[in-house]
């Protein structure tokens, strides 16, 4: 029934539109080619369907004329539809709506025999712009169409349907003919004066217009972005594109985020990575907004740039983007004051829990059992806990050093009131085996830097052979060895250094004492025999000769400049919409 109602609405609108065009037709019928009939004749009817009734008849006529001009250039029909809601009109999707329209026999749309046409359908209730294409193949760049959609959503969202249409046609027209002069918008609303924050929940958060990710990577990435959004209530967007619409990458990134309606909550918390694949630019930049400005500070963003650079330089863009997402996830996790749902006040000591934690079963059972026995004995004897943790997935969310620390503390490890102990975390990073050691409580006095260096060297050499089993075993054995000899306050190397130092000092003192035995020396002065008061100084004259000035350049203060044009220091900057953003800067690759 609703569809029937819409059909009547369409007919009525077309009639009025057609009437308007018919008036113009009297002046110049060549300008009114609107479609080609089965007999090769053109139809003349409205190309702008405004069910929201915000575009006047005059404006509609102007827009139609522009569409016809575009149609000739693009060899593609264009149908623009403004409506309140597809759902209310009983259409399941914009495709269904467009198809319904496309198939309406009385009002054929489409250019040429292929009836090529692009439908732009805008829903005012959802502030959503749909594009549906009919014809043999798409002649428009998906990136350009996407930008046109986003801008339409922004302009139409502000109620300016006329400029929304005009900008949409402008952008498609430019995509077909870069030399064409775009029609000027009546009101430039992309600035602070008109900007009103809004939320765009429908757009994909992985916008890979440059096709840098494989399908599998893209699927995983979308899942990951959603997980992060769910867990931390922040928007995380990855945009790869062949250009920045002629703008500076960083400015474009901020504008894309703001005018695209990204972000969560009233402050639009979120972070966006923009990879500009323009061959003349090749630049990636990150922008933060809302709470992310503080939770992911600029100096950390500089680190992310550096971590990504190797992969980007090597062309492994998918891996580089994963580094970005993981880094953001880890940073946000680190700020969280809980672990696996355990809050600090819920922590309970677990003296009977496993000391070799290996949920994925990476370690051999025999090794696990042996290590558990050794650790149990060592805990009784030395009152220091030992934990071996193997969990490769955890690094998706945690910095390794953060994970082992939180696991040890929140999962109730440690001996005595200070929860003394040492923990080894084994994981993989970039396909390579890696480790982190964490020391807690009294054990910090036992395991000093030099001891940890010794332990690290053993673990490192075992991991070099690719053996997590060997690394875990070496770690436990050497830790117990060090505990056994913990009453040696200094290492052998340190003792030798002390001995040499003391020997040197004592040798110098001995030489001075030996020299004091010498009592015989030739007298070289006669100052003791100078008659007091007999000295007369005369004619003391000073003549100035010359002046020499030397200058040396002062050392430059160290600075961490970014590859981008803007300062990457602390603080925020403002985008054209007036929104505060963190981040900025970036790296060329």
Partner 1 sequence: MNEEYRNPDFAIERDPSDPVQGSNAGNLSYKCPNCTMPLKFDPHQNLFVCEYCDGTFALEQIKNAENEETGYNWNEYREEIHEEVLTGTRSYVCKSCGAEIVTTAVTSATKCPYCGNVLLVADSISGMLKPNKIIPFVIDRPELERLFNAFVKKKNFVPKVFKNNPVLKEVEGVYEPFWLYDSGVDGHANFEGTKTRSWSDATYDYTETKYYSISVDGDMHFSNIPADGSKRLANDMMDSLEPFDYSRMIDFEPGYLSGHMAERFDEDADQNLERVKRRMWTSADSVLRESVTGYSSVKKTGGSLQQFDRDVRYALFPVYVFNIGYQGKDYHYAVNGQTGKIVGELPFSKGLYWKWILSRVGVVFAAVYIISFFLH
| Interacting residue ranges for partner 1, rule: CB under 8 A | 445, 487, 489-490, 495, 498-499, 502-503, 506-507, 509-510, 513-514, 516-531, 534-554
Nearer to partner 1 by C-beta: 348 or 549?
549
Tokens 């500070």, residue located: 297
Q: In the complex, what is the shortest distance from the CB of residue 416 to partner 1, in angstroms, rounded to a whole number?
A: 17
Q: In the complex, what is the shortest distance from the CB of residue 558 to partner 1, in angstroms, rounded to a whole number?
A: 16
Beta-bridge partner residues of 370 = none
- Identify whether the C-beta of residue 394 lies closer than 8 Å to the C-beta of residue 357: no
Which is it for the CA torsion 370, 434, 385, 447, positive or negative?
Answer: positive
- Identify whether the C-beta of residue 189 lies closer than 8 Å to the C-beta of residue 255: no
User: Considering only CA atoms, which of 205, 292, 229 is closest in space to residue 581?
Assistant: 292
Q: In the complex, what is the shortest distance from the CB of residue 489 to partner 1, in angstroms, rounded to a whole number?
A: 4
Q: In the complex, what is the shortest distance from the CB of residue 497 to partner 1, in angstroms, rounded to a whole number?
A: 11
Nearer to partner 1 by C-beta: 417 or 525?
525
Q: In the complex, what is the shortest distance from the CB of residue 482 to partner 1, in angstroms, rounded to a whole number?
A: 13
User: Considering only CA atoms, which of 35, 55, 53 is closest in space to residue 45?
Assistant: 35
| Dist. CA 403–CA 401, nearest whole Å | 5
Nearer to partner 1 by C-beta: 196 or 487?
487
587 CB burial (10 A radius; 0-12, 13-18, 19+):
buried
Which residues, 6 or more positions from 67, have their beta carbon under 8 angstroms from its beta carbon?
A: 47, 48, 78, 80, 169
Give the CA count within 13 Å in the CB-facing half-sphere of 530. 9
Q: In the complex, what is the shortest distance from the CB of residue 487 to partner 1, in angstroms, rounded to a whole number?
A: 8
| Dist. CA 228–CA 264, nearest whole Å | 12
Nearer to partner 1 by C-beta: 349 or 506?
506
Q: In the complex, what is the shortest distance from the CB of residue 516 to partner 1, in angstroms, rounded to a whole number?
A: 7
353 CB burial (10 A radius; 0-12, 13-18, 19+):
exposed
Nearer to partner 1 by C-beta: 196 or 541?
541
Cα-flanking dihedrals φ and ψ of residue 580, to 5°?
Answer: -80, 135
For residue 204 the two structure tokens come to 């994909």
Q: In the complex, what is the shortest distance from the CB of residue 559 to partner 1, in angstroms, rounded to a whole number?
A: 15
Nearer to partner 1 by C-beta: 321 or 455?
455
Nearer to partner 1 by C-beta: 364 or 486?
486
Which is it for the CA torsion 237, 242, 247, 249, positive or negative?
Answer: positive
Q: In the complex, what is the shortest distance from the CB of residue 486 to partner 1, in angstroms, rounded to a whole number?
A: 8
| Dist. CA 502–CA 496, nearest whole Å | 10
Which contacts qualify for 360-364: CB closer than 8 Å, 24 or more apart?
360/390, 360/391, 360/392, 360/393, 362/390, 362/392, 362/426, 362/468, 363/388, 363/390, 363/468, 363/469, 363/472, 364/469
Which residues, 6 or more positions from 132, have their beta carbon under 8 angstroms from its beta carbon?
A: 94, 95, 97, 98, 99, 118, 119, 121
Q: In the complex, what is the shortest distance from the CB of residue 479 to partner 1, in angstroms, rounded to a whole number?
A: 17
Per DSSP, 574 falls in state E
The angle that helices 298-313 and 317-334 make with each other, rounded to 10 degrees, is: 160
Q: In the complex, what is the shortest distance from the CB of residue 446 to partner 1, in angstroms, rounded to a whole number?
A: 8
| Dist. CA 50–CA 28, nearest whole Å | 25
Nearer to partner 1 by C-beta: 340 or 547?
547
Q: In the complex, what is the shortest distance from the CB of residue 483 to partner 1, in angstroms, rounded to a whole number?
A: 13
Which residues in 69-188 belong to E strands, given as ranges?
77-83, 117-123, 128-134
Q: In the complex, what is the shortest distance from the CB of residue 449 to partner 1, in angstroms, rounded to a whole number?
A: 13
- Identify whether the C-beta of residue 372 lies closer than 8 Å to the C-beta of residue 357: no
Nearer to partner 1 by C-beta: 376 or 490?
490
Nearer to partner 1 by C-beta: 196 or 551?
551
Per DSSP, 42 falls in state B
Nearer to partner 1 by C-beta: 8 or 506?
506
Q: Where are the alpha helices (DSSP H) in 186-291?
A: 215-232, 249-259
Nearer to partner 1 by C-beta: 360 or 554?
554
Q: In the complex, what is the shortest distance from the CB of residue 505 to partner 1, in angstroms, rounded to a whole number?
A: 8
Nearer to partner 1 by C-beta: 376 or 494?
494
User: Considering only CA atoms, which of 356, 353, 378 is closest in space to residue 367?
Assistant: 356
Give the chain's length.
589
Q: In the complex, what is the shortest distance from the CB of residue 420 to partner 1, in angstroms, rounded to a whole number?
A: 15
Nearer to partner 1 by C-beta: 543 or 558?
543
Nearer to partner 1 by C-beta: 432 or 551?
551
215 CB burial (10 A radius; 0-12, 13-18, 19+):
exposed
């Amino acid at each position: 029934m609703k569809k029937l109602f819409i059909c009547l609405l369409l007919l009525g609108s077309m009639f009025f539109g057609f009437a308007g065009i018919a008036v113009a037709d009297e002046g110049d019928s060549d300008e009114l080619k609107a479609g080609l009939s089965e007999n090769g004749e053109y139809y003349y009817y409205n190309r702008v369907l405004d069910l929201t009734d915000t575009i006047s008849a005059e404006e509609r006529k102007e827009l139609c004329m522009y569409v016809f001009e575009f149609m000739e250039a693009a060899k593609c029909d264009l149908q623009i539809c403004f409506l309140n809601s597809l759902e209310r009109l009983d259409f399941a999707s914009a495709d269904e709506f467009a198809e319904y329209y496309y198939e309406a026999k009385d009002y054929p749309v489409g250019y040429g025999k292929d009836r090529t046409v692009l439908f732009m359908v805008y829903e005012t209730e959802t502030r959503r712009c749909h594009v549906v294409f009919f014809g043999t193949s798409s002649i428009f760049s998906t990136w350009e169409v996407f930008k046109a959609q986003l801008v339409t959503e922004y302009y139409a969202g502000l109620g300016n349907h006329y400029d929304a249409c005009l900008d949409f046609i402008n952008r498609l027209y430019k995509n077909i003919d870069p030399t064409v002069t775009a029609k000027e918008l009546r009101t430039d609303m992309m600035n602070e004066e008109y900007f009103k924050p809004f939320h765009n929940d429908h757009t994909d958060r992985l916008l890979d217009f440059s096709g840098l990710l494989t399908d599998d990577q893209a699927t995983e990435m979308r899942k990951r972005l959603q997980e992060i959004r769910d867990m931390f209530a922040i928007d995380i967007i990855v945009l790869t594109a062949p250009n920045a619409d002629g703008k500076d990458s960083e400015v474009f990134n901020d504008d894309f985020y703001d005018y695209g309606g990204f972000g969560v909550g009233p402050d639009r918390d979120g972070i966006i990575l923009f990879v500009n694949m323009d061959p003349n630019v090749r630049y990636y930049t990150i922008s933060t907004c809302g709470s992310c400005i503080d939770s992911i500070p600029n100096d950390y963003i500089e680190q992310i740039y550096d971590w990504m650079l190797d992969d980007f330089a090597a062309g492994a863009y998918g891996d580089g983007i994963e580094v970005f997402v993981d880094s953001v996830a880890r940073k946000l996790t680190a700020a969280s004051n809980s672990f696996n749902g355990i809050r600090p006040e819920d922590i309970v000591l677990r003296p009977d829990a496993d000391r070799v934690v290996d949920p994925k079963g990476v370690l051999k059972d025999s090794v696990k059992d042996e290590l558990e026995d050794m650790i149990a004995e060592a805990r009784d004897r030395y009152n220091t806990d030992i934990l071996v943790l193997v969990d490769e997935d955890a690094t998706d969310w945690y910095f390794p050093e953060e994970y082992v620390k939180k696991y040890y503390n929140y999962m109730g490890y440690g001996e005595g009131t200070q929860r003394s102990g040492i923990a080894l975390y084994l994981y993989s990073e970039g396909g390579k085996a890696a480790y982190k050691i964490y020391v807690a409580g009294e054990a910090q006095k036992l395991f000093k830097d030099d001891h940890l260096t010794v332990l690290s060297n053993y673990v490192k050499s075992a991991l070099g052979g690719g053996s997590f089993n060997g690394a875990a075993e070496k770690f436990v054995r050497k830790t117990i060895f060090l505990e056994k000899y913990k009453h040696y306050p200094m290492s052998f190397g340190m003792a030798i250094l002390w001995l040499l130092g003391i020997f040197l000092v004592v040798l110098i003192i001995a030489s001075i004492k030996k020299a004091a035995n010498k009592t015989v020396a030739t007298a070289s002065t006669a100052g003791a025999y100078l008659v007091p008061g007999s000295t007369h100084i005369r004619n003391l004259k000073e003549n100035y000769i010359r002046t020499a000035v030397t200058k040396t350049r002062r050392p430059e203060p160290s600075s961490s400049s970014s590859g981008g044009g803007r300062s990457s220091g602390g603080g925020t900057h403002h985008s054209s919409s007036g929104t505060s953003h963190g981040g900025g800067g970036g790296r060329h690759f």
